[in-house]
Amino acid sequence: MSILFLLVGNSTYLDDHGPPPQKVLPFPSQVVYNRVGKCGSRTVVLLLRILSEKHGFNLVTSDIHNKTRLTKNEQMELIKNVSTAEQPYLFTRHVHFLNFSRFGGDQPVYINIIRDPVNRFLSNYFFRRFGDWRGEQNHMIRTPSMRQEERYLDINVCILENYPECSNPRLFYIIPYFCGQHPRCREPGEWALERAKLNVNENFLLVGILEELEDVLLLLERFLPHYFKDVLSIYKNPEHRKLGNLTVTVKKTVPSPEAIQILYQRMRYEYEFYYYVKEQFHLLKRKFGLKSHIRKPRPRPEFFIPSPLETEEPIDDEEDDEKWLEDIYKR
């Protein structure tokens, strides 16, 4: 596979008295993973820590986990800090989409992973209360001010009695990560949904789905080899799988069918976005010949969202894959 390269520096020749050799960076040399909460991101970050040492890229992480929406000044400051990081870098943080070009920066390549919205909500609901297998008291550290009656609130009661945690706008969670920082991105509706879809098409190299994580990793290795080469072999390593298992949320229970149906209704825009992303992801898989075995998906919920469109056949089998990647990078 051919790789595009970016030359840093102005020198075009070398001799005994000339400047030092140019630094050759892979293209793209600026990648942002604005990871969606409870969508497997801790597993991916564990992989990235190993990969950054193995391949020599700069992994830029953030200790801020609960501030996804930023003021204009905060956006400018974060973009400035990220843009001046040593390249090649991969920056990761729970943060809604940032438009670097709006503030005069070079727009990076974005990647992300999402999952079934109800499953994501349930994982977050119980994680906030009871943590994961990394430690019995993790949940107490994460949510120390949570009252006991709230911590042990039955999930069905929360949903059926319309508690704020189980209602909109809190259920409108995934779309803002792709819509961006505009105030309307936080309002459940068509405007935020369509803007999120547009950003996926124009600014994200890949948005995968957690239910097919191995295929996500395979495509990341194909698209971004300097960052993700050998990622799947590392992921499948038994020692790494042990670490990954520690991040599984504990004490999860399944709501009643009635409660789940209510969640589907409240999250109809989230589901429309999820199925849109899933369709695009499957187009990519087909384009690159991935025919992995996946678990049979749950039936699509029957409500507001129209039936899924038939997968189109827009892919010319003779199209050059590397040319397609170059076109993506030029967006």
> Catalytic residue numbers?
94
Q: For residues 281 and 269, what is the distance between their CA atoms, to the nearest angstrom? A: 18
* Residue given tokens 């508690």 in the structure block: 163
Q: For residues 233 and 238, what is the distance between their CA atoms, to the nearest angstrom? A: 10
Which residue spans within the chain are E strands per DSSP? Answer: 5-8, 23-26, 30-33, 58-61, 89-92, 109-114, 204-209
Q: For residues 88 and 57, what is the distance between their CA atoms, to the nearest angstrom? A: 5
Element (H, E) at 327: helix 321-329
Which two three-digit tokens encode residue 239?
């020692």
163, 153 contact by CB (below 8 A): yes
Q: For residues 30 and 50, what is the distance between their CA atoms, to the nearest angstrom? A: 18
Q: Residue 264 carries which side chain, given as an amino acid letter?
A: Y
Which two three-digit tokens encode residue 165?
């945690």
The values of phi and psi at residue 79, to 5°, are: -60, -40
Helices and strands of the chain, counted as H and E runs: 15, 7
Q: For residues 54 and 49, what is the distance between their CA atoms, to the nearest angstrom? A: 9
253, 157 contact by CB (below 8 A): no
